[in-house]
Amino acid sequence: MICSILLLIILTSCVSGTFVVNVTQTSYQAEENHHITLEWTFTTNPHTSSNSLNIFCELFTDLRPSVLFHLHEGVEVPESQDEQFAGRVQWDKDVLREGRLRLHVSRLRTEDTGLYKCQVITSYGRNSGKCWLNVTAAADEPKPQRPTVRPEPESLGNIWILYAGLAAAAVAAVLLILYLKRLFVFNPCLSYCSCNYMLTSKFSY
Ligand SMILES: *[C@@H]1O[C@H](CO)[C@@H](O)[C@H](O)[C@H]1NC(C)=O
């Protein structure tokens, strides 16, 4: 009895010990809107088909875990996938048989940053591997906003120059009118003298 329990413990530790899930890279660095390939490797067994393969990949952040990829008995389960990754994850079916899980994540977002854990469950063992992904914000993002903002103060300045010009023209016109009025209407001497001169010159004949 004791012998059989010991044998069972040795066998299970042996089986679970032989099945490993590795990561090719422990940490990845990428920029927003770019794409990345995360890769895991796991022990293969030539005697079992890929139909017995179950993979569950999750992203762990401060907020909540979200499902990145789910393979059930060799078939992908898109319904399990979190909407955060909908339409952005592709996997290499060909290399899976070689014990390589390659996940291509496109159009990266800053919220994709976190710990990625893939759990591989087979009929001959189970294990998991983790890697870290850091997505940085695109550096050139605020640039396109500036040229659209710039023309506004310029056009505003043009409007003010136009107003100032119109005001100056109006002031000049008023001053000219006042000057002409003073010259001919409000100067009694000028009008009287010229009139008097005209009269006297008329009567002299
Ligand atoms: C996992 O990594 C170990 C140590 O680097 C290596 O010996 C082993 O072959 C790897 N296994 C797989 C399946 O990648």
User: Average per-residue pLDDT in the chain?
Assistant: 80
Return the top range by mean pLDDT from 2-6, 95-99, 162-166.
Answer: 95-99
Instruction: Give 40: exposed, middle or buried? Use CB within 10 Å, 0-12, 13-18, 19+.
Output: buried
User: For ligand 1, is residue 41 a contact (CB within 6 Å)?
Assistant: yes
| Contact residues for 5 (Cβ-Cβ < 8 A; gap 6+) | none
Return the top range by mean pLDDT from 8-12, 155-159, 171-175, 192-196.
Answer: 171-175
pLDDT for position 177: 72
Q: How far is the CA of 88 from the centre of ligand 1 (A)?
A: 28
pLDDT, tens digit (0-9, with 9 covering 90-100), for 169-188: 888 888 887 776 776 655 55
**Containing domain of residue 106, as a range?**
18-136
- Tell whether 130 and 175 lie within a shared domain: no
| 35 backbone φψ class: left, alpha, beta (φ>0; ψ -120 to 50) | beta
Q: Which residue, 119, 108, 136, 91, is CA-closest to 23?
A: 119
Q: How far is the CA of 93 from the centre of ligand 1 (A)?
A: 21
Q: How far is the CA of 50 from the centre of ligand 1 (A)?
A: 20
Q: Which residue, 128, 134, 133, is CA-closest to 22?
A: 128
Backbone phi and psi for residue 150, each to the nearest 5 degrees, phi listed first: -55, -45
Distance CA 55, CA 44 (A): 13
pLDDT for position 5: 46
In a domain, 144, yes or no: no
In a domain, 12, yes or no: no
User: Which residue shows structure tokens 């990625």?
Assistant: 116
What percent of the chain is modeled with pLDDT above 70?
Answer: 71
Distance CA 119, CA 110 (A): 24
- Tell whether 167 and 124 lie within a shared domain: no
User: For ligand 1, is residue 128 a contact (CB within 6 Å)?
Assistant: no
- Tell whether 162 and 127 lie within a shared domain: no
Nearest CA to ligand 1 atom 5: 22
Q: How far is the CA of 24 from the centre of ligand 1 (A)?
A: 9
Q: How far is the CA of 127 from the centre of ligand 1 (A)?
A: 13
pLDDT for position 18: 87
Atom of ligand 1 nearest to the CA of 41: 14
In a domain, 143, yes or no: no
User: For ligand 1, is residue 74 a contact (CB within 6 Å)?
Assistant: no
What percent of the chain is modeled with pLDDT above 90?
Answer: 52
User: Residue 92 in contact with residue 33, Cβ under 8 Å?
Assistant: no
Distance CA 139, CA 32 (A): 9
pLDDT for position 60: 97
In a domain, 146, yes or no: no
In a domain, 97, yes or no: yes
User: For ligand 1, is residue 77 a contact (CB within 6 Å)?
Assistant: no
- Tell whether 107 and 29 lie within a shared domain: yes
Instruction: Give 152: exposed, middle or buried? Use CB within 10 Å, 0-12, 13-18, 19+.
Output: exposed
Strands (E), the chain: 21-23, 27-31, 36-42, 54-60, 65-72, 75-76, 89-91, 100-105, 114-122, 125-136
* Strand 89-91 to 27-31 pairing: unpaired
Q: Which residue has the higher pLDDT, 30 or 144?
A: 30
